[in-house]
Amino acid sequence: MNLYGRDFLKLLDFTPDEIEGLIELAATLKAKKKAGVPHRLCEGKNIALIFEKTSTRTRCSFEVAAHDLGMGCTYLDPSGSQIGKKESIADTARVLSSMFDGIEYRGYGQEIVEELAEYSSVPVWNGLTNEFHPTQILADFLTIKEIYGHLKGINFLYMGDARYNMGNSLMVGCAKLGLNFTACAPKKYFPNAELVKTCEKLAKESGGSITLTENPAEAAKGQNVVYTDVWVSMGEPDEVWAERIADLSPYQVNSKLMQATDNAIFMHCLPSFHDLKTTTGKLINEKFGIDCMEVTDEVFESPRSAVFQEAENRMHTIKAVMAGTLTKSL
C-alpha cells in the first residue's frame, strides 16, 4: 500500500485494497500502542486541525495520534480563525500547507474539504462533512473485524437517517469491502439515488449487496451488525426535531429489534441520545416526552454494544490514515 501524499476525503476515492490496508495498519499500530512499543513514524512533522463543527472523538483522536506519531498539532476552533469569514478556503489552504505537513478539516459541505485539498500542497483529511465521515468507517470496520474476524459477507443494518454523512459513508464502505448493507428508514431518509447506484455497482464487484427498506421487522432478520446515528445532525436547525421524532421513532434501535437479528452487535458513531444525561436529551424529554431517541439505554448498555471499542478505534484508524499518507515507507 502506498498512500504517500494522498488526501483522505471520501472512501469512494480509495480501492478496496487500500481501505483494507489502512484497517490492517490501524490494527498493527493499535497492537504497538498496547504493547508500549514507540511508533514515532512522523517525527518532527506538524499538523493543523480545522473544526467548524464541535467534536470529542475526532479531535482527540487526531491529537493523541499526532503525539504518538511524534508530530506537533495545532487546533483551530469554530470561532478562532479567519476561515470562511475573512479568508477563503483556497487562501487558507495555501497558507496552512506552507506551515504544516497535513490538514484535518471538519465542517459543512463536502465541496469545502475538496476545495481545501485542491489548493493544499499537503494531505487533507476529512474529519466529517455533511455528506461523508470516512475516518469513522475505518474505525467501525476495524471493530467489526476484531469481533467477527472478517468483513466480507457481514450483514450490516443501518437504522434511521440514512441520507446523511453516516448512512452515505457506511453504504460506500460496505459496498467497497463486500458487506451486505441494508438501510431501514422511511423513503425520504434513503441515501440519494445516484450514490445508491454507484454503490450497487461497487457491491457487485466486491460480492456485497445494497438493500433499502421501510420495514424494521423484515430488515432485522439475519443481521450481524445494527448501526444507528442521531436523528438530527450537527448544523441542522432545531425546527426539524419534531418531524424527525415523528418519522424515525418506528426506526429506533430497541431490544425487540435486536432480538430479531442474528445476535447482532450494536454500533453507533457517538455521541448518542440514549438517556437523559445531556442538556439536549433533557430538552427533548420536556418537549416531546421521550427518554431516549435513536437507541434505547438498554441496547446501548447491553453486552452486545460495541460503541466504546468503536470509539477507541477512532484513534488507531486516524493514526493509520496520517501515517499512511505522510510516510513513504509503509
Those residues whose C-beta lies under 8 Å from the C-beta of residue 259, and which sit 6 or more positions away, are none
Least separation in angstroms between CB 138 and ligand CP: 12
**Interactions with ligand CP, residue window 202-261 (CB under 6 A):** none
Does residue 316 have an active-site annotation?
Answer: no
Footprint of ligand CP on residues 122-141 (CB under 6 A)? 128, 136
Decide whether 16 or 160 has the Cβ nearer to ligand NVA.
Answer: 160
Considering the rule CB under 6 A, would residue 230 count as an interface residue with ligand NVA? yes
Catalytic residue among 6, 68, 136, 252: 136
Least Cβ distance, residue 116 to ligand NVA (angstroms): 18
Residue 295's alpha-carbon distances to 18, 165, 251, in angstroms, are 33, 18, 9
Does residue 165 bind ligand NVA (CB under 6 A)? yes
Residue closest to 197 by CA, chosen among 229, 171, 160, 227: 171
Is residue 136 annotated as part of the catalytic site, yes or no?
yes
d(CA 47, CA 125): 11
User: Catalytic site residue 314?
Assistant: yes
Q: Angle at CA 315, nearest 5°, toward 174 and 237?
A: 70
Stretch that binds ligand NVA, among 7-15, 113-121, 144-152, 228-236 (CB under 6 A): 228-236
How many angstroms separate the CA atoms of 255 and 273, rounded? 16
Interaction of residue 229 with ligand NVA, rule CB under 6 A: yes
Residue range at the interface with ligand NVA (CB under 6 A); choices 23-31, 77-85, 160-168, 192-200:
160-168
Q: Is 164 in the site for ligand NVA (CB under 6 A)?
A: yes
* Number of neighbouring beta carbons within 10 Å of residue 62: 30
Candidates 41-49, 56-64, 140-148, 236-244 — which segment interacts with ligand CP by CB under 6 A? 56-64
The C-alpha cell of 61 is what?
A: 483522536
φ, ψ at 82 (rounded to 5°) = -85, -5
Of these partners, ligand NVA, ligand CP, none, which one is at the site of residue 229 (CB under 5 to 8 Å by kind)?
ligand NVA
- Residue 269 contacts ligand NVA per CB under 6 A: yes
Q: Is 120 in the site for ligand CP (CB under 6 A)?
A: no
Query: Distance between the two ends of the chain, CA-based, in angstroms?
Result: 7
Query: Does residue 234 bind ligand NVA (CB under 6 A)?
Result: yes
Annotation marks residue 6 as catalytic: no
How many of the chain's residues bind ligand CP (CB under 6 A)?
A: 8
Active-site option among 59, 268, 314, 316: 314
**133 annotated active-site:** yes
In the numeric block, which cell numbers belong to residue 27?
490494527
Site for ligand NVA in 117-136 (CB under 6 A): 128, 133
**Considering only 9-17, 52-60, 200-208, 297-305, which stretch makes contact with ligand CP by CB under 6 A?**
52-60
CB atoms within 10 A of CB 221: 12
Q: Between 30 and 57, whose beta carbon lies closer to ligand CP?
A: 57
Question: Which residue from 48, 55, 132, 173 is in contact with ligand CP, where contact means CB under 6 A?
Answer: 55
- Catalytic residue check, 304: no
DSSP string, 173-240: HHHHHT-EEEEES-GGGSPPHHHHHHHHHHHHHHT-EEEEES-HHHHHTT-SEEEE--SS-TTS-GGG
Name the E strands within the chain.
46-51, 72-76, 102-106, 124-126, 155-159, 180-184, 209-213, 225-228, 265-268
Q: Which of 172, 325, 159, 312 is nearest to 247 (CA)?
A: 159
Catalytic residues: 106, 133, 136, 229, 269, 314
In the complex, the residues that contact ligand CP under the rule CB under 6 A are: 55-58, 128, 136, 269-270
In the complex, the residues that contact ligand NVA under the rule CB under 6 A are: 128, 133, 164-166, 229-230, 233-234, 269
